[in-house]
Amino acid sequence: AAGSGKTAVLVERIIRKISGNTDVDRLLVATFTKAAAAEMKERIRLALERALLEQPQSEHLRRQLAMMNRAAITTLHSFCLDVIRRYYPMIGLDPGFRVANETEAELLRLDVLDALFEERYAAAETEPGFLRLADDYGGERGDEPLYHLVQELYDFSRSDPWPDHWLERAASGFET
């Protein structure tokens, strides 16, 4: 829970590692938000400064403090993006790739949903179940309520460790 001391415990464990023989730039500390990553980095920096005050002769601690800018204390997304940028040739990715912003991602998502609905309507003669679904869950003037339902189910499924299996199980509950 918020305020339970998770960050303090993690910082203490990191400082213990660094105070040993581990260099700070050899650790990966991944958080979910930029704010949490910035807070973690600041807390580690402050803890290193306190440790250096207690052991002013320690070259190791002085070096760790100097290497803080190179430390991988970041968000999980930023770390993954860094790995992709660094190793794009190995995965056959165009070096000019970029991450879509939220608006672009939403437009792409709607394009995919439009194509899926068109495909299902085209196959309605051989698979009439979709028409029943559209009649039951769609609106009187369009498919917007059904679009919304499909998007909510998809988003909810992403919270499961195996979203495709979750969707299959959920769908199997409606089979007659």
Question: Which tokens go with 114?
Answer: 């439009």
CATH topology of domain 102-172: Enzyme I; Chain A, domain 2 (1.10.274)
Give the count of beta carbons closer than 10 Å to the beta carbon of residue 107.
12
At residue 75, what are phi and psi to the nearest 5 degrees? Answer: -80, 160
> Does pLDDT of 175 surpass 80?
no
At residue 28, what are phi and psi to the nearest 5 degrees? Answer: -115, 120
> Does pLDDT of 125 surpass 70?
yes
Task: State the DSSP code for 28.
Answer: E
> Does pLDDT of 132 surpass 80?
yes
pLDDT one-digit tens code per residue, 12-47: 899 889 888 889 999 999 988 899 899 999 999 999
Q: What is the pLDDT of residue 176?
A: 59
Domain residues of the chain, as ranges? 6-91, 102-172
- CATH match for 6-91 among 3.40.50.720, 3.60.21.10, 3.40.50.10860, 3.40.50.300: 3.40.50.300
pLDDT one-digit tens code per residue, 54-97: 999 999 999 999 999 999 999 999 999 999 989 988 988 888 88
Any idea of the CA torsion for 85, 89, 94, 100, to the nearest 10 degrees?
-30
Q: What are the CA-CA distances from residue 169 to residues 48, 146, 147, 156, 166 (Å)?
A: 50, 19, 20, 13, 5
Q: How confident is the model at residue 121 (pLDDT cuts 50, 70, 90)?
A: very high
Across all residues in the chain, what is the average pLDDT?
89
Residue scoring higher pLDDT (5 or 88): 88
> Does pLDDT of 113 surpass 70?
yes
Q: How far apart are CA 145 and CA 141, in angstroms?
A: 10
